[in-house]
Chains A and B, each alone.
Chain A
Amino acid sequence: SQTIHQWPATLVQPVGSPLSLECTVEGTSNPNLYWYRQAAGRGLQLLFYSVGIGQISSEVPQNLSASRPQDRQFILSSKKLLLSDSGFYLCAWSGSGNQPQHFGDGTRLSIL
């Protein structure tokens, strides 16, 4: 069966520090991969999606970036975090565009 792993579960970072969140999927090949962010009390916002290795599409301009170095690995990064980057970050995968998405447990990021 397919599983998705995200880590860490919680993270506290100072303003201006770098960020790296990792997501891996097991049990499937060539998945679509997604990064979402959920600010406190708000809905989910799609940040990035990828349909293949090295193929990244950005939905929202910001100081975050994403990379997909391997088929089932998706990384969210920042060189310098802002206070507004606080939130709940979720990784998801799907088999194709119209198939259900399956989410990880998320990373709760707090910026101090």
Chain B
Amino acid sequence: DAKTTQPNSMESNEEEPVHLPCNHSTISGTDYIHWYRQLPSQGPEYVIHGLTSNVNNRMASLAIAEDRKSSTLILHRATLRDAAVYYCIRIYYGGSQGNLIFGKGTKLSVKP
């Protein structure tokens, strides 16, 4: 059970912003939200993670709702290389194992 809900697919135009939503309505106070993406025939790549506050890095921004029941991954300017499956994952903060439970993710298509 992935315990997160994402749209199956989304489309974007190149150089436009993309907002990828994720619902995690049963999240607990100690769960982090991690985002990964997977290009065809490659292993997943870490994108960003956060707990309560919005986060920014060189790849993307993560906006976490105040009640933490949803979050949005923001790609500020989509490129063709951003076409991938994006996974939103909850992970327990206090665990030593860090077991990621991958759902089906959102397949992002980027049109030139």
Which A residues have a C-beta under 8 Å from some C-beta of B?
32, 34, 36, 42-46, 49, 51, 57, 59, 88, 90, 92, 94, 96-106, 108
The 4 nearest A-B residue pairs measured at CB = A103-B43, A97-B98, A100-B46, A44-B102
Does A98 lie within 8 Å of B44, measured CB to CB?
no
If A43-B103, A43-B105 touch, whether A96 touches B43 (CB-CB below 8 Å) is no
Q: Count chain B CB atoms within 10 A of each CB in A94, A98, A104 and give the residue with the most.
A: A98
Residue tally, chain B, CB below 8 Å to A:
27
Which B7-27 residues sit within 8 Å CB-CB of chain A?
none
Q: Would you give 13 A-B contacts (Cβ < 8 Å), ordered by A?
A: A43-B105, A59-B99, A92-B44, A94-B98, A97-B95, A97-B97, A97-B98, A100-B34, A102-B46, A103-B43, A103-B45, A105-B42, A106-B41
